[in-house]
Amino acid sequence: MTERAASLPAADALIRRIFQALAKPGPSGDVAPETVPVCDMLPEILFYASLEPPPMARLAASVASLAPRLAWRPRPGAEKEGAAFLAGHANAYVVGPGGLEPRDDVFVGISLMAPGLRYPDHDHPPEEVYISLAGGEWKKGDEDWQAPGIGGLVHNPPGIVHAMRTKDEPLLAIWCLWAGS
Ligand SMILES: [Fe+2]
């Protein structure tokens, strides 16, 4: 397996399954790049991530090279969460629907959120792991908020309600979901 910045036993099986699936490339997607003003935060966030040990530095470099090719958009329904949230976050698919590699067994995407915001509670059947590239806190189920830090992982079992929030620092994270059989 590729070198990893962190380990999280609960997520190991999921990560193995995703790596195995991605070893067989899917088709190339025809993505029309889109950007939103909050994406202006990416270079500074990625600069700090690039100072981390090699796995995170390489991940930051990969995100920096991919970011201009992606369609960055607010989450569907974000307008109901208020103007600050609508303007202050964006998501982009790398793998999966609307991504550079459109496939239906693995979804990999990126979430960006400015300081002082809360991402709404959400849930989805696929099991998920987040890789944090910046600040931000995560909550799932009845557990307390946790701050994984740069290189930290967050694992969400299938269907669990979860959310993110930011205080003084932005959040940048990659999410990987297994939607295959
Ligand atoms: Fe999620």
- Phi, psi dihedrals of residue 24, rounded to the nearest 5°: -100, 100
- Structure confidence at residue 181 (pLDDT): 84
- Structure confidence at residue 4 (pLDDT): 63
User: Could you count the other beta carbons within 10 Å of the beta carbon of residue 117?
Assistant: 22
Residue 122 has which token pair?
């959400």
**Ligand 1 midpoint to CA 171 (Å):** 14
**Ligand 1 midpoint to CA 53 (Å):** 26
45 half-sphere exposure, CB direction, 13 A CA radius:
28
**Ligand 1 midpoint to CA 150 (Å):** 18
Residue 145 has which token pair?
């908020």
One pLDDT digit (tens) per residue for the chain, 181 residues = 345 667 788 889 999 999 999 999 999 999 999 999 999 999 999 999 999 999 999 999 999 999 999 999 999 999 999 999 999 999 999 999 999 999 999 999 999 999 999 999 999 999 999 999 999 999 999 999 999 999 999 999 999 999 999 999 999 999 999 999 8
Cα 163 from Cα 128, distance rounded (Å): 13
**Ligand 1 midpoint to CA 122 (Å):** 7
**Ligand 1 midpoint to CA 124 (Å):** 7
- Structure confidence at residue 100 (pLDDT): 97
pTM for the whole structure: 0.94
**Ligand 1 midpoint to CA 123 (Å):** 6
**Ligand 1 midpoint to CA 23 (Å):** 23
Cα 97 from Cα 113, distance rounded (Å): 21
Partners of 95 in beta bridges? 101, 108
**Ligand 1 midpoint to CA 137 (Å):** 13
- Structure confidence at residue 73 (pLDDT): 98
Nearest to 128 by CA among 81, 161, 150, 101: 161
Cα 167 from Cα 118, distance rounded (Å): 9
With vertex at residue 69, the alpha carbon angle to CA 91 and CA 86, rounded to the nearest 5 degrees, is 25
